[in-house]
Amino acid sequence: MTTTLVTGAAGFIGFHTAVRLLNSGHAVIGIDNLTDFYKINLKQDRLEELRTYDRFSFYEATVADAANMNAVFEHHDIQNVIHLAGQAGVRAPPSESHRYVESNLVGFCNVMEASRAHKVAHFVYASSSSVYGMEAIPPFSTDQSVDHPQSLYAATKRANELLAHSYSYNYDLATTGLRFFTVYGPWGRPDMAVYKFTDLIAKGQPITLYGEGKLLRDFTYIDDVVDALVRVLENPPTSGYVGQTTPAKSKVAYRIYNVGNDQPVEVNELVHLIEHALETTAVVRYKPPHPADLHTTHADVKELTDVFDLQPNTNLKDGIAHFVEWYLQYHGRDESN
């Protein structure tokens, strides 16, 4: 039986990934510090679901604490790591900068160093579409340069990719980074557009759209994301790559892939789909674009498709219908959430 560590296990993607692994026979060690970045009730409810599995163990700990991380690795024979813990959000004020450094840089190094010391077979980690930054040309290809981030969050994610390469090079640690594009679905994050808009529209409260709602986003359904995560986890890269070295491919055991839907949609269209699913009309307020926001996110997923024969198969209309169905059931069960 394979034992996999999932950091950020009480988070949105971490929860779904842990469930998929548990259902496929893995033992899962979950770590999460249960921060109040959004309502902790949702994280606790995800954990409640995970604790129904006998092969799930959980540690409430921060990845920024090296001693805690080492203790977890010492106590379990961990074969693989899926590192999803981190401080999210592209619009943080300067006063919050230390949170990104502590979680996304110090924490990342701690998990990677423990993975090296305990010789894990594969270290898979969350990067972000935000890394594409100022000079990216849609559709975003992993062959493009990503050296001009527009937010501190994006800068830390790009730094993670570079740190991973150094570990792959120096220690032959197999690492794969996944650049996620606007993930949504049941049990999602309340700070993200799909959940936030649904919640406000359902309550008859106004929503705010930046850039007149004309920003384009590559909304990616959670099941498609987990499909990619699990397939990638089972196929670690090897050193000795003989093709052309690019920002996403190296001669060492290091790869980066986009995980997106490859079908960008205007945020206005997203709102229309939510309105349709809720059978109600949104009250909309508009603001100028935020300087940390990319105008367009559009994943070129050819590399992921070619290597793993994977393609996203959930269109936005169906995905929103699934999410709204879950939202109504979840909040109908417990309005305090």
Active centre residues (catalytic): 153
Q: How far is CA 155 from CA 133, 192, 301, in A?
A: 9, 20, 22
Q: Which of 186, 211, 181, 182 is nearest to 277 (CA)?
A: 186
Q: CB neighbours of 306 closer than 8 A, spacing ≥ 6? A: none
Rounded to an integer, what distance in angstroms lies between the CA atom of residue 31 and that of residue 78?
Answer: 13
Cis peptide before 138 (omega within 30 of 0): no
| C-beta separation of 183 from 319 below 8 A | no
| The two three-digit tokens of residue 153, written as one number | 């969050």
| C-beta separation of 262 from 301 below 8 A | yes
Q: Which of 116, 90, 24 is nearest to 294 (CA)?
A: 90
Q: Which of 324, 294, 334 is nearest to 149 (CA)?
A: 294
Exposure of 4 by Cβ count < 10 A (0-12 exposed, 13-18 middle, 19+ buried)? buried
| The two three-digit tokens of residue 207, written as one number | 């929503």
Exposure of 190 by Cβ count < 10 A (0-12 exposed, 13-18 middle, 19+ buried)? middle
Rounded to an integer, what distance in angstroms lies between the CA atom of residue 331 and that of residue 95?
Answer: 33
| C-beta separation of 47 from 10 below 8 A | yes
Rounded to an integer, what distance in angstroms lies between the CA atom of residue 263 and that of residue 168?
Answer: 32
| The two three-digit tokens of residue 267, written as one number | 């945020």
